[in-house]
Structure 1
Amino acid sequence: MSPGAAVPVADVVVAGAGPAGRSLARACAARDLRTLIVDPRPHRPWTHTYGAWSHELPDDLPGEVVAARGRGVAIAQRTHELDDEYVVLDTAALQAHLTDPAVAVRRARGVGAVPAGPGRHPAVLLDDGTSVTARVVVDATGARQALARRGAARELDAGPPRAEQTAFGVVVPREVAARVSGDRLLFMDWRPAHGRPGWPTFLYAVPLDAERVLLEETSLARRPGLPMPELRARLRARLRAAGLAEAEIPDEPADVEKVRFPVDSPRHRSPSGVVAIGAADPLVHPASGFSLATSLRLAPRLATVLADALRGGTEPVGVARAARRVIRSPGAVTVHALRRRGLETLLAMPPAEVPAFFERFFTLPPAHRRAYLDAREDVTASVAAMSSLFGRLTPRLRAHLIRGTLLGARSVRTEQ
């Protein structure tokens, strides 16, 4: 008997216990759906720092999940005071908030999926040789897209290098960080204080609580991603240039944060009865790398659609199709395609022009900046924001924008 022919052990099985998987599982359980998470380390503490604009986050997010908030600044060629409030989340509190005891947990790694078929439910194949069957399966395994159709992973490996966001950060006391940031929340500081040539990076400086600050050297997007040793060297050079002594710059794993993820993941090749969410779909913003707030906001809406379809007796293929219509609405697909072109424009831009491009971006009216960063399904607002930006660019930057839009990043960058 095929693994998928078994009686479903749950209404919804979610592969992956990160923020996207946990938020959807919690929303499904709240709608009385039997929900199971499979993950090799389901209770592993999350270590990444998550930030989002205040207006992006769900209204019902508990206050204790917010570690810090403030109206930060961005520095390109000049300093820009940002109108929107930026929120840094308490990662441990967020994980606790999204962990619902009503959600069952299976310690295993999802390595593939059995598609739904006539009289057959979809199933998740596990690394121990067993499987779990559900009325609908959700792939929340991130950029590796573990449950995508066979052959998808090989195609990813065989293609060109992925465009990645990479970062290297250290956590320091607030009074130490203030000597670098001026005690400000720095969303971006493009000034090349590190003194090293090559692909531009910026300093991201955000409070983790009242006493600690994360100082992070970030490469927004590059194909392939800027290597960690280079980011580490740049950060240390930047901090030394600001007057920090070597002993004030941590190097112990507990005080170091490393970030690496793709921003140009392809569309998930979903087997019948399987839905992808989070970075597996992908829901990552191609130009900023943001995805958490989108996953948090989308989870209740998606869970409602799943609950309605399952209670209505819809077949597994139809349930997954209804869910995909929420994730990949026509507006969302169009906006994502526009943002991917924006990513290619950035990748094709001469390194020296990148800070000048962001100088123009931060002169946009707040509504246009917000639309480009947050209007996931609003095609009109996204086009208006891009048009406004184009009108503010110098002729040289306009030429780069046109070439990037028409041709994309045709060559792989290898400079540091």
Structure 2
Amino acid sequence: MDVIVLGGGPAGRALAGSCAEAGLETTLVDPRPDKPWTSTYGAWADELPKETPIAVRAPVTRAIGVEHHVLDREYVVLDNTRLHLLPPAVRVEVGKSTSITLGPHRSSVRLADGRTLTAALVVDATGAPPSRGRVEQTAAGVVVTKEEAKAVLDDGEALIMDWRQPPVTGVEWPTFLYAVPLGPDRVLLEETSLARRPGLPVAELRTRLASRLAGHGIAPTTVEEQVRFPVDLSRPTRLTFGAAAALVHPATGYSVATTLTLAPLVAEAVADALPKGPRAARAAAKQIVWSPAAKLVHTMRRHGLRALLAMPPEQVPEFFDLFFRLPDELRRSYLSDREDVAGATKAMAELFRHAPWRLRRTLVLAPQDR
């Protein structure tokens, strides 16, 4: 066996499939490999590989801070059913890993049922570590009909952020409405806390969502989707992929597009380097996942996260107005290009240049990581 990938989420499946397509003998290990995904995965269309399965396209994308912004960038929702598929060459083992032992020539994975699997490389793609004490993104959403959603979303649109606060809130913390089409007659409406330590409780998000929907004349319904994951992840030293490798964007929470883009590059690097031994293959994979440029951009985005956490609630919509006024290429660089150091630097400099002094102070004096 050449590669064992632990974890059958979008990152693990993308990497396992890419490794198999690169000619590597690959096994995917997951406790419930046939379980369908219930989360909604959205992304900008231009940051995805061309072969990515798309469920719905939204040619018009809007965002609201204090002002309304129409963004010249298509947004899409991924097709979970097709994204879940694996090439026939990938061997699937049902199980949960309990330990990994690295060796100079082979590595082994111990499973909860007592079995041991061995391969030249083991990649942990089991997701983010427990988020206790970390900065979390949380959300609670409902699915309504397109007719019901008309008050907030027109046909062919995606609303990635609406920072106008609902009438009823129990905690002084800014949240936004995220609204995307899921199909011909289904729309997801989700109240989202972008980042908070600890994450804003789901009960508070439910209250806010019900209040917001009532204000738009939409009858409250049961929560159908809940989100909770850490965004202030540190880069691990072992070989990991996806959220386990801290590939979650610190300032937005997005990660799936990045993992889908990197998966074939990592697989090719491993296939090229593996004849030289597992150590060379691990080093090649890590270089793809965390190049020096990617590390530097990640550091800058972490500063953006700290600044966001330090802002008084009333400054957050104003901050996003400034961000959405940036030229398209600078927004794209900061949101999507994880190796464009010059672009990320220019985006942050432009935002600072146009910010009022009270917001500049927050941007400069944001506390360091802890």
TM over 0.5: yes
1: distance between equivalents of 2:109 and 2:17?
19
Structure-2 residue corresponding to 1:169: 141
Give the secondary-structure state (helix, strand or coil) at the position aligned to 2:140.
strand
In the alignment, which of 243, 264, 271 is matched to residue 217 of structure 2?
243
**1:297 matched to 2:261:** yes
Aligned residue for 1:203, secondary structure, equals strand
**What TM-score, normalized to structure 2?**
0.96
Secondary structure of the equivalent of 1:185? strand
Residue ranges of structure 2 left out of the alignment (5+ in a row):
none
Q: CA deviation at 1:67?
A: 2.1
Question: Which residue of 1 is the match for residue 163 of structure 2?
Answer: 190
2:72 to 59, 83, 97: 83
Partner of 2:355 in structure 1?
393
Equivalence for 1:353: 315
Residue of structure 2 in register with 1:217 after alignment: 191
Aligned residue identity for 2:5? V
Secondary structure of the residue aligned to 1:204 is strand
Q: TM-score, normalised by structure 1?
A: 0.86
* Residue equivalent to 2:99: 112
CA distance in 2, matches of 1:200, 1:408: 22
Q: Shift of residue 378 of structure 1?
A: 1.2
Distance 2:103 2:355 in 1: 50
Structure 1 residue 122 corresponds to structure 2 residue 93: no
- Give the secondary-structure state (helix, strand or coil) at the position aligned to 2:320: helix
Counterpart of 1:260 in 2: which secondary structure?
strand
- The whole-number CA distance in structure 2 between the counterparts of 1:269 and 1:126 is 22
**Structure 2 letter corresponding to 1:320:** R
1:408 maps to which residue? 368
Measured against aligned partners, the alpha-carbon deviations of 1:53-105 in whole angstroms (never above 9, x if no partner) come to 1110002224xx33232221100001000111111112223223xx2221001
| Aligned positions, number | 368
Q: Deviation at 1:409?
A: 7.2
CA distance in 2: counterparts of 1:318 and 1:308, whole angstroms: 10
SS at match of 1:401: helix
Matching residue within 232, 238, 246 for 1:264:
232
Question: How far apart in 1 are the matches of 2:251 and 2:123?
Answer: 25
The one-letter amino acid paired with 2:236 is H
Structure 1 unmatched runs, 5+: 1-9, 145-152, 411-416
From the superposition, tell whether residues 194 and 101 of structure 1 become closer, same or farther in structure 2 (CA, over 3 Å): farther
State whether residues 68 and 209 of structure 1, in contact with CA within 8 Å, keep that contact through their aligned partners in structure 2. no
Asked whether 1:73 is paired with 2:76, we answer no
Amino acid of the structure 2 residue aligned with 1:262: P
Distance, in Å, in 2 between the alignment partners of 1:230 and 1:111 is 35
Relative distance call for 1:194 and 1:113 in structure 2 (3 A) is farther
CA shift, 1:181, in A, is 3.1
- Residues 331, 377 of structure 1: 8 Å contact kept: yes
Q: Deviations over 1:270-308 (max 9, x none)?
A: 1xxxx2110001111000001101111111111111111
CA drift of 1:127 comes to 1.3
Once the two structures are TM-superposed, the CA of residue 265 in structure 1 deviates from its matched residue by: 1.5
Q: Residues 162 and 177 of structure 2 are in contact (CA less than 8 Å); yes or no, is this contact kept in structure 1?
A: yes
CA deviations 1:84-139 (Å, max 9, x no partner) are 1111112223223xx2221001100112210123xx41112211222211111111
Q: Counterpart of 1:122 in structure 2: which amino acid?
A: S
Q: 1:19 maps to which residue?
A: 10
Distance in 2, Cα, partners of 1:401 & 1:394 = 11
The percent identity for this pair of structures is 51
SS of equivalent residue, structure 1 residue 224: coil
Q: RMSD of the TM alignment (CA)?
A: 1.5
2:123 maps to which residue? Answer: 138
Give the counterpart of 1:318 among 280, 286, 297: 280
Q: Secondary structure at the match of 2:276?
A: coil
Q: Distance in 2 between matches of 1:359 and 1:221?
A: 18
For residues 34-70 of structure 1, give each alpha carbon's deviation from its aligned partner in whole angstroms, at most 9, with x where no partner exists: 10001100111011101111110002224xx332322
